[in-house]
Structure 1
Amino acid sequence: MTEDMSSRTRPSHPAVRLHVDLDGDLRPHRSAKIEAHLRVEVAADRAPNDLPAVELAVIIAVDVAEANRAAVRHALPAALRALPDGISFAVLGGGPEPVRFHPRDAGTWAVADRDQRRRAAFAVGSLPLHRDGPRPAGYAPWAAEARALLTDRPLSVPHLVLITDGSSAAGETRLDEELDACAGKFTCDVFAVGADWPPDPLLAIAERLHGTAQFVDEGLGRAVTDAIARLRRAGPARLEIEVTLRPSVRQVSLTEKTPRPHRLVGLPAADRPHCWTFPTHQWEQGRRDYLLTLVAGADDDPLETDLQFAMVSVDGAHVPVVARWHLPRPSAPPGPTGGGSVRSLDATARMRGALREGLTALQAHRPDTARECLAQAARLAARFGTDWVLDEIRTVADVEDAAEGRIRLRTVAAGTLGPMILRAGSHPGAPVADGAGAPPGPRCGACRNPAGGEARHCIACGKKLL
């Protein structure tokens, strides 16, 4: 019986440190939202050496049309020749359905050595690619084939490298369903080549399978090699963030904000009431920032008393989430609360979202929406000093005053927008600043009422927040 990623043995984890920041002053309400900035650090001083290559099983799937063979002709052999000794690997090509190309025998894997690398690099010169006629119905068949292959190779780090030009994406049907089946079974990095691929499904794959999605114009072979090297550097390839809740907490969610924004899927513990686990993958030394959101009621809790609403645990490290209910003030409207770094997390997420939404609107020829969203992204980027966001905006618009959000759209080639949308959704972000120096949270421009959490409209007057 094969095992999934959660049950495979791993070397001991390096030291893990936790820090939580939140505004601990709450007002009783039927469903108050508590937001906390959770920082998880893997100590650099105890980071392990590279994981042995024998612990990795990697599939390289080439979803490329015959007309674009030049995009992979030299890069793919180069990536195969650079595989480390001992790694298990397989190569998939494309026909009406994904097909195993190397090794060809069902149920077998290649284990990299000098002879295997040479044979694989030579063989991919005749790799089957899409031609005129039936093509795989979207990316779901590629994920399903990878899941089936990796089930037969239960190693510590199973990974899919998907190289695509979008040639099978037009018939996308059941991607969400297949990603649900694959989540936790393996991770995936997506490399887009050419100029005719939709970015949204690629970002969905990278987010659900804890990887990255990026456009590669040149240097595809090096990008694949770097992705495999990153897998080996990942100390604890999987860490579970465990959240044990106070009974009055009705909902819990956890969203990674940096380095790669995505929402984690929580799993209830079968034998522990009020306990949820959130699996994470591809850890390296350094830190990650998360937004922990709890929805709690005050019906049975005492007022003016410190209460522990949750305990967060990661690999033997624990940190409590503590706040208190204050006596109600009629003049204070109920709303989400959070510390300075929580507001920083939210603002960073809004910046990324506005950038992505603006670029998508520009691609769809909706200039008014694009202008509004990119202006919001520029204001937030100026506030946080996020140069890469401003650089992206300057590619499609003249930025007259970033702090004021004054921009003027330019005519741009449609082919440039897809890579930018990928970067907006998958570009690694800088660590969030500590709460002490975080910028103030957003306020309504009409009534100046403070807004919190992931608010889009003012809770007092209903105006849309900028």
Structure 2
Amino acid sequence: MANFSKSNVPQFSVEVYQNEFLPAGGRDVNAIVTVTSTGGGTTGGAPVSGRTAGQGPDAAVVLMVDCSGSMDHPPTKMRNARDATAAAIDALREGTRFAVVAGTHVAGDVYPGDGQLATAGPRTKAQAKEALRRLSAGGGTAVGTWLRLAGRLLGAAEVDIRHGILLTDGRNEHESPEDLRAALDSCAGRFTCDARGVGTDWEVKEVTGIASALLGTADIVADPAGLAADFTQMMENAMGKEVADVALRLWTPVGAEVVFVKQVAPTMADLTGRRTGAGPRAGDYPTGSWGDESRDYHVCVRVPEAGIGQEMLAARVSLILPGPSGGAPQTLSQGLVRAVWTDDTAASTSINPQVAHYTGQAELAHVIQQGLDARKSGDFDGATAKLGRAVQLASASGNADTAKLLSKVVDVVDAATGTVRLKARVAEADEMTLETRSTKTVRVKKQ
């Protein structure tokens, strides 16, 4: 484990958990990389230039509120959305740059309304909440236009942290999936974004896809009355971010290749396809913004075959922060992934507990999705088998939250064997909650 700290960023550490022993002919090396950040500007340390002690990093946030016609059914939904956005504005740290966007089939710059960002303070917060009161529902839904406007507003700000919060209650019916994908591609790497679906008339894969592409969180707020508490929590989390654009850099030796890189805690996210080159035999994988938190990543590297008794460095894992104004990047922390070939069968067949745990959590997310898809298509035998396996995995790994969500979709006969019966009637909100939260994982139990 190595770490590196400066006064204006958290202190990062990297720990690598693996079984480095391979049998003769073995090539795939698996490791769980735990990245932890602690401290930073809001929790002590010397103040950053331009800030006073205790003040957080410069940040900008754009709140995107669905104002399409469906937000008026029932009318309390629009009122709850206005109240939730007002609560989020109240949670803004003084000095944070911010804007409010009204989303329909077009994007409206509601506040401050001049193509700029306001600076959070008592006066601007009051003005923004007054602007919210004038919002009404009407029109269609084209989320890509909302995101592009947020990207333009955030892109003009000279700040450390850029973040979006997006609320929708319906399907993205007024632009093509290709338009939304193009908008996400244009915004990726420019800001992070949390996405929320309110009610039950929205598409889970759209909302989770937005959050995944923009390295944020996704969730359902089935009851609009719960929006204010959720928005407040989201904003407080955003205000806790200390450093943006941290990359996980993998260097591999000649002849080795990266099979995949996946975030596995606190949620599942496949980063493999998001690699950008970082010099000879190295690639960077984006991890977004960090506050005081810990995340786990599953790395798989395929190495050349070697003889019994030989060993090699399979990969070097580094946490990289871009340098100011395109300068040299900072290495915040490093860890090593090793490969050792042995004829000791007990050593080479042992599975590291962390690797085994997260392999199970990945399967859990996968079989939940398969089970729900089978249920929707009328394949009830397939749905029972997949959701039964999910119950078994959730029980074995101690994922109590997911087990509880599964129990609203199936009747559990025996969790240990995965014996279940599909419920005859399932509330749509319960099914959508299970699908939305299926990628949430639990950490490895401490031995």
Give me the TM-score of the superposition, normalised by structure 2. Answer: 0.83
**In proportion to residue count, which structure has more strand?**
2
Identity %, equivalent residues: 26
Q: Map of 1:252-267 to 2, 5 A cutoff? A: 252-264=259-271, 265-267=274-276
* CA separation of 1:72 and 1:83: change in aligned 2, threshold 3 A: farther
- Residue 84 (structure 2) aligns with: 75
Alignment pair present for 1:408 and 2:421: yes
2:294 and 2:126 map into 1 onto residues whose CA distance is 39
Q: 2:134 aligns with which of 126, 129, 135?
A: 126
Structure 2, gaps ≥5 residues long: 1-5, 45-52, 320-330
Q: How many residues align?
A: 410
Give me the TM-score of the superposition, normalised by structure 1. Answer: 0.80
1:60 and 1:295 map into 2 onto residues whose CA distance is 43
- Residue 346 (structure 1) aligns with: 359
2:153 and 2:243 map into 1 onto residues whose CA distance is 23
- Residue 326 (structure 2) aligns with: none
Deviation (angstroms), 1:61:
0.8
- Residue 280 (structure 1) aligns with: 287
Contact 1:93 1:100 (8 Å CA) reproduced: yes
Q: 1:145 aligns with which of 140, 149, 153?
A: 149
Deviation (angstroms), 1:412:
1.1
Contact 1:356 1:424 (8 Å CA) reproduced: yes
> What is the one-letter code of the residue matched to 1:88?
R
* CA separation of 1:222 and 1:413: change in aligned 2, threshold 3 A: closer
Contact 1:34 1:296 (8 Å CA) reproduced: yes
* CA separation of 1:179 and 1:45: change in aligned 2, threshold 3 A: closer
- Residue 13 (structure 1) aligns with: 9
* CA separation of 1:123 and 1:430: change in aligned 2, threshold 3 A: same
Deviation (angstroms), 1:170:
6.3
Structure 1, gaps ≥5 residues long: 1-9, 330-334, 438-466
1:100 and 1:422 map into 2 onto residues whose CA distance is 29
Deviation (angstroms), 1:421:
1.1
2:22 and 2:189 map into 1 onto residues whose CA distance is 36
Contact 1:61 1:162 (8 Å CA) reproduced: yes
- Residue 69 (structure 2) aligns with: 66
- Partner SS state of residue 239, structure 1: strand
Deviation (angstroms), 1:389:
1.7
Deviation (angstroms), 1:337:
8.7
Deviates more, 1:170-179 or 1:215-224: 170-179
Contact 1:169 1:197 (8 Å CA) reproduced: no
2:238 and 2:7 map into 1 onto residues whose CA distance is 14
Contact 1:41 1:287 (8 Å CA) reproduced: yes
Q: 1:37 aligns with which of 8, 32, 36?
A: 32
- Residue 234 (structure 2) aligns with: 227
- Residue 110 (structure 2) aligns with: 101
> What is the one-letter code of the residue matched to 2:117?
W
- Residue 204 (structure 1) aligns with: 209
Q: 1:110 aligns with which of 118, 125, 143?
A: 118
- Partner SS state of residue 246, structure 1: coil
Q: Map of 1:282-361 to 2, 5 A cutoff? A: 282-298=289-305, 301=306, 303-314=308-319, 315-326=331-342, 339-361=352-374
Q: 1:378 aligns with which of 388, 391, 402?
A: 391
* CA separation of 1:145 and 1:412: change in aligned 2, threshold 3 A: same
Q: 2:96 aligns with which of 75, 81, 87?
A: 87
- Encode CA deviations 1:268-293: one digit per residue, 9 max, x unaligned: 11xx3011122212323342111001
CA RMSD of aligned residues (A): 2.8
Contact 1:96 1:130 (8 Å CA) reproduced: no
* CA separation of 1:153 and 1:235: change in aligned 2, threshold 3 A: closer
Contact 1:94 1:129 (8 Å CA) reproduced: no
- Encode CA deviations 1:222-269: one digit per residue, 9 max, x unaligned: 222221211222233442222111111123431110012102222211
> What is the one-letter code of the residue matched to 1:419?
T
2:85 and 2:303 map into 1 onto residues whose CA distance is 52
Alignment pair present for 1:422 and 2:418: no
> What is the one-letter code of the residue matched to 2:12?
V
Contact 2:398 2:442 (8 Å CA) reproduced: no
